[in-house]
Amino acid sequence: MNQGGALSGLRVLDLSDHRGALCGRLLADMGADVIKVESPLGDPSRRIGPFLDDLPHRDRSLFFWFYNLNKRSLALDVSRPRGGALLLELAKSSDVLIDSSKPGTIDKLGLGWEVLHEANPALILCSLSPFGQTGPYRDFDADDTVLAALGGMLYVNGFAGKPPVRPLGLQSYHSGAYYGAIAIMSALFARDRAGVGQWIDLSLQAATASAVEHVSSSYFADRMIEPRRGTLHWSRYFRVGRARDGHIMHCTLGDWTTLIEWVSGDGKAQDLAGSEWKDFTYRRDHAEHLFDVLDEWIKDYDCDDLLARAQALRLPYATVRAPESLMEDEQLAARGFFAEVEHPELGRSIRYPGAPYLFGGTPWRIYRRPPLLGEHTGEILHDDLGKPLDELAALAAEGII
């Protein structure tokens, strides 16, 4: 299985919920055998929409699909002693276990770090939790929005005097998932040297703070509290502008002479042709006026024309587009960003957003569509773990698998 992937040969038990599910997927996409261990009732995220054709069903959740592509599903009730024992057996032949339950939960199930470590000293446990396993907020509850708030990702978006604007997508979870995968890879390197696994305690709040660009450094360097600046980027070299048929992103970090020759040629430079504007710190310090003039300049341009001319002059302009425009994006299409995934049970294939990177030697790949609930329970417990079929039947009858 998973021949040729960079991470082939690694087995990951993924007990995480939707807060941590991307972490295991990042490893699965590169060839690790990631087993999603979910309750026989189904992972709760199977009930989160949107659903395919808007038909709510545990095997049609696009939310679940996005985060669980390339994984196998083992339906196992780890909260019951025999289920927990089976998980412990699986852990003996696994490299990584990912968990995102409330701190202390797996300990109560008898599957805490000490138990896992004794069962398999080489195992790496990656615990993703909202605030980490220690500290005064350890038991606080949070969703992605609360984490974006407490991680500093929210306050700086939008306009002063109005409510902060929330990120698009679950970026606290996503940041945590990437840092989780990075931590797991680091622990694998450490295991190569020392022979033993370790426990990773990842705080999603801290991962969120790590994914904010400027707030902490402005505070620590100058005791400056970064404000909300509307559509002006904190660096003051970018601002959203309105062209004839839509919005664009201005950028004043390209070659200034080139930009101002163009604007002057259109008769719209006003005072920007003055030599003081050649200094980029001057442009930063007078950004609002600068962009007001540029807004006047672009208002009769169509976005696509403006973009084409700007890029031909190597000016880093962009159009402000809807995400659905990505489906028609020539660059993404040429690079094969979207991947067709066969869903034989539905008799159709579905395009998925694809790889964040193109590996020359060991490509990101579709190994399998997201699993149906418990789809691989038999092969994992019987073929991989060697459990006899009559034992599986008994476990199924008791609702443990």
Partner 1 sequence: MDPQTDSLPLKGIRVVDFTWVVAGPVATRILADQGAEVIKIERKVPGFMGARRTGLQGNLNRDKLSVAINMSEPTGIELARRLVAKGDIVIDNFSARVMRQWGMDYPSLRALKPDIICISMSGLGHTGPRKDYVSYGPTLQALSGYTMMMTDVDGIPAGYGYSYADMAGGYTGALAALIAMWHRRRTGEGQFVDLSQFEAVCSVLGPGLLDVCANGRAYQPPKYRSQEAPAAPHGVFRCKADAGSADRWIAISARSQLQWRKLTVAMGSPGWASDPKYQTLYLRMKNAAELDARLSEWTAGLEAEELMFSLQEAGVPAGVVSDGEYLCARDQQLKSRGYWSTVKIPDGAQTQVDGIPFKMSATPASVRTCAPEIGESADYVLGEILGLSAAEQEALISCGAIWP
Which residues have a catalytic role annotated? Answer: 233
Q: Which is nearest to 43 in space by CA: 84, 96, 101, 86?
A: 101
The Cα 238–Cα 317 span in angstroms is 9
Span of 261-269, 271-279, 290-298, 353-361 interacting with partner 1 by CB under 8 A: 353-361
DSSP string, 76-127: --TTSHHHHHHHHHHHHT-SEEEE-SPTTHHHHTT-SHHHHHHH-TT-EEEE
What track of x and - describes contact with partner 1 for positions 10 through 29 (by CB under 8 A)? --------x-------x---
Q: Which is nearest to 203 in space by CA: 103, 64, 96?
A: 103
Check whether the bond before 50 is cis (ω within 30° of 0).
yes
As measured in angstroms, the least distance from the Cβ of 242 to partner 1 is: 10
Cα separation values, 204 from 37, 156, 168, 177, 264, Å: 21, 19, 17, 8, 49
As measured in angstroms, the least distance from the Cβ of 38 to partner 1 is: 16
The Cα 22–Cα 353 span in angstroms is 13
207 is a site residue for partner 1 (CB under 8 A): yes
At 349, is the secondary structure helix, strand, or coil?
Answer: strand
162 is a site residue for partner 1 (CB under 8 A): yes
Please report, as residue ranges, which positions from 33 to 72 form the binding site for partner 1 (by CB under 8 A): 44, 47-48, 50, 52-54, 62-63, 65-67
Please report, as residue ranges, which positions from 252 to 281 form the binding site for partner 1 (by CB under 8 A): 253-254
Q: Number of residues in contact with partner 1, rule: CB under 8 A?
A: 153
Identify which of residues 80 and 234 has a Cβ nearer to partner 1 in the complex.
Answer: 234
Judged by phi (left if over 0) then psi (alpha if -120 to 50, else beta), residue 223 lies in left
Span of 83-91, 95-103, 194-202, 388-396 interacting with partner 1 by CB under 8 A: 194-202
Task: Say if CB 11 and CB 41 are below 8 A apart.
Answer: no
167 is a site residue for partner 1 (CB under 8 A): yes
Please report, as residue ranges, which positions from 97 to 156 form the binding site for partner 1 (by CB under 8 A): 113, 131-132, 134-137, 140-156
- Using CB under 8 A, pick the residue from 7, 35, 76, 401 that binds partner 1: 7
As measured in angstroms, the least distance from the Cβ of 223 to partner 1 is: 8
As measured in angstroms, the least distance from the Cβ of 123 to partner 1 is: 12
- Using CB under 8 A, pick the residue from 119, 199, 268, 378 that binds partner 1: 199
